[in-house]
Amino acid sequence: MKTVWEKLTAKEEKALFAFGEDYRKFLGMTKTEREFVREAEKLAKAAGFKPLAEVKKLKAGDKVYAVNRKKNLCMFVIGEKPLTEGMNILGAHIDSPRLDLKQHTVYEKDGLVLLDTHYYGGIKKYQWVARPMALHGVVVKKDGTIVEICIGEKSTDPVVGISDLLIHLAAKQMEKPAAKVVEGEALNVLAGSRPMKKEEKEPVKAYLLKLFKDQYGIEEDDFLSAEIEVVPADEPRDYGLDRSMIMGYGHDDRVCAYTSLRAILETEKPERTSCCILVDKEEIGSVGATGMHSRWFETVVTKLLALSGKATPVEINETFEHSRMLSSDVSNAFDPNYPEVSDPKNSAYFGGGIVFMKFTGSRGKGGSNDANPEYVAEIRRVMDDNKVTFQTCELGAVDVGGGGTIAYILAQLNMDVIDAGIPVQNMHAPSEVVSKADVYEGYRAYKAFLKDVK
Ligand code: MN
Ligand code: MN
């Protein structure tokens, strides 16, 4: 396999590293779906995108976007051809595995104050202990006021974390299977140890609650209507002595979301309408009003059609039927430490470029979209015409495991969809790793897809 690195000109190499640096910084600023939407909206506005709600008429080249409940968004660049002839759609998710605070979360035990959590998405729980963590999210008060929380990101901020058992006393724990070494109910965040003077009942908790009251104006009951995510406090960093990779929290799937976002931001006057949809809740089944299963996307597209006076049920369905999509999500990068879980012929490798997966799923392709070969051929044509380096893979060897994406959900609207994405090591760990070469090639692939897929 010839890697992206070997094909680079000096100019391309410079562009690749510059893009990697843009992404590294963006990833550090967007550790929650809300933060991603906030930053993406800023970039969209700066690139001339207008809120769909404010638009009365649409013509080719117009750029519009819509945001759903501050947690997912979609963007469009209107094409020369009528919308009913279909869109070229980039999709990715912007939620990542993490720990969420429970509703009744603050409690005092043995002179310490802790925050009880429920993990979100599939994690190896033992990876999330004994490391610096930050709190990100919102607390919504009864009068509707939203208090933003972000503690642990500035170098002067305190961090929190979950304790682990010292090795000296862990003989029994070390005999347990990895799934049980750290149990879900043991994921309690240590938030303080200082008692309030002259307070008899739960003085350490009282001190912490007073801090919340003084600094944020929130009461204990306000946590009932909060959404606070406990995430790794580290900044994404260059990884490898040659700086060829990036280590950071939440590459899954912000690496595909950011590259898709950049591709549509830089799209001008496409032939077919370009679309980028970034969704929440993929890690827990694409459920909820902001997940891919929500009717929101269909509603937005119907509004677009209505602006051109073409929104009958048949026209709406035809628009989807003629659309083509890249459902982008990370895949597993082949790992020489664990070669036995993969089929080397059908694996993704760091530096191999964007990955296309005809199917995902597990146990006989269960739950997979399985793209049509006619569509796969069109993708090959466009990638080759644009000199984009790509590889193909399956998520692991047959019967080892598997995974799902949002691909099958859009395919239900009767459109051509294929899974695409960027290979990652340490998937779902607090620090994931991607290759800068694949990030750059993903971005180039998305631009080519929006421009040239018919
Ligand atoms: Mn994912
Ligand atoms: Mn995932």
C-alpha closest to that of 275 among 107, 76, 419: 76
Is the confidence at residue 427, as pLDDT, over 90? yes
Quick one: which ligand is closest to 92's CA?
1
CATH fold group of domain 98-232: Aminopeptidase i, Domain 2 (2.30.250)
C-alpha closest to that of 435 among 15, 52, 16: 16
Residue 333 Cα, ligand 2 centroid: separation in angstroms?
14
Output the pLDDT for position 136: 98
Q: Where are the beta strands (DSSP E) in 333-424?
A: 354-357, 390-392, 416-421, 423-424
Q: Which CATH class name applies to 4-96+249-452? A: alpha beta
Interval 32-43: pLDDT, tens: 999 999 999 999
The percentage of the chain sitting over the pLDDT mark of 70, rounded to a whole number, equals 100
Q: Return residues with CB closer than 5 A to ligand 2 (ion).
A: 252
The percentage of the chain sitting over the pLDDT mark of 90, rounded to a whole number, equals 96
Residue 32 Cα, ligand 2 centroid: separation in angstroms?
14
Instruction: State the amino acid at position 120 in one-letter form.
Output: Y
Quick one: which ligand is closest to 255's CA?
1
Residue 428 Cα, ligand 2 centroid: separation in angstroms?
6
Residue 283 Cα, ligand 1 centroid: separation in angstroms?
7
Q: Where are the beta strands (DSSP E) in 209-255?
A: 226-232, 237-239, 245-248
Neighbouring-strand partners of residue 433: 247, 425
Domain edges within the chain: 4-96+249-452, 98-232
Residue 252 Cα, ligand 1 centroid: separation in angstroms?
5
Interval 296-343: pLDDT, tens: 999 999 999 999 899 999 999 999 999 999 999 999 999 999 999 999
Residue 292 Cα, ligand 1 centroid: separation in angstroms?
13
Question: Mean pLDDT throughout 233-238?
Answer: 96
d(CA 450, CA 363): 33
Residue 434 Cα, ligand 1 centroid: separation in angstroms?
13
SS3 content of the chain, % helix, strand, coil (to 5): 35, 25, 40
Question: Mean pLDDT throughout 76-91?
Answer: 98
Quick one: which ligand is closest to 256's CA?
1
Quick one: which ligand is closest to 253's CA?
1
**Is the bond preceding residue 110 a cis peptide, omega within 30 degrees?**
no
pLDDT band (50, 70, 90) for residue 100:
very high
Residue 357 Cα, ligand 1 centroid: separation in angstroms?
13
Residue 28 Cα, ligand 1 centroid: separation in angstroms?
18
Quick one: which ligand is closest to 331's CA?
1
Residue 96 Cα, ligand 2 centroid: separation in angstroms?
7
Evaluate whether 4-96+249-452 and 98-232 have a shared fold: no
- 47's tokens: 């690139």
3-state secondary structure of 160: strand
Quick one: which ligand is closest to 91's CA?
1
Question: Mean pLDDT throughout 352-381?
Answer: 94
Output the pLDDT for position 411: 96
DSSP conformation class of 81:
S
Question: Mean pLDDT throughout 358-374?
Answer: 92
Interval 47-73: pLDDT, tens: 999 999 999 999 999 999 999 999 999
- 358's tokens: 């005809």
d(CA 297, CA 410): 10
Write the DSSP string, 270-312.
Answer: -SSEEEEEEES-GGGTS-STTSTTSTHHHHHHHHHHHHTT--S
C-alpha closest to that of 226 among 218, 214, 238: 218
C-alpha closest to that of 79 among 324, 271, 303: 271
Is the confidence at residue 361, as pLDDT, over 90? no
On the 0-12 / 13-18 / 19+ scale of CB atoms within 10 A, 165 is middle
C-beta neighbour count of 70 within 10 angstroms: 16
Output the pLDDT for position 308: 87
Residue 436 Cα, ligand 1 centroid: separation in angstroms?
18
Residue 268 Cα, ligand 2 centroid: separation in angstroms?
31
Residue 11 Cα, ligand 2 centroid: separation in angstroms?
34
Question: Mean pLDDT throughout 405-426?
Answer: 96
Residue 11 Cα, ligand 1 centroid: separation in angstroms?
32
Output the pLDDT for position 401: 87
Is the pTM value of this prediction over 0.95? Answer: yes
pLDDT band (50, 70, 90) for residue 404:
confident
Residue 446 Cα, ligand 1 centroid: separation in angstroms?
17
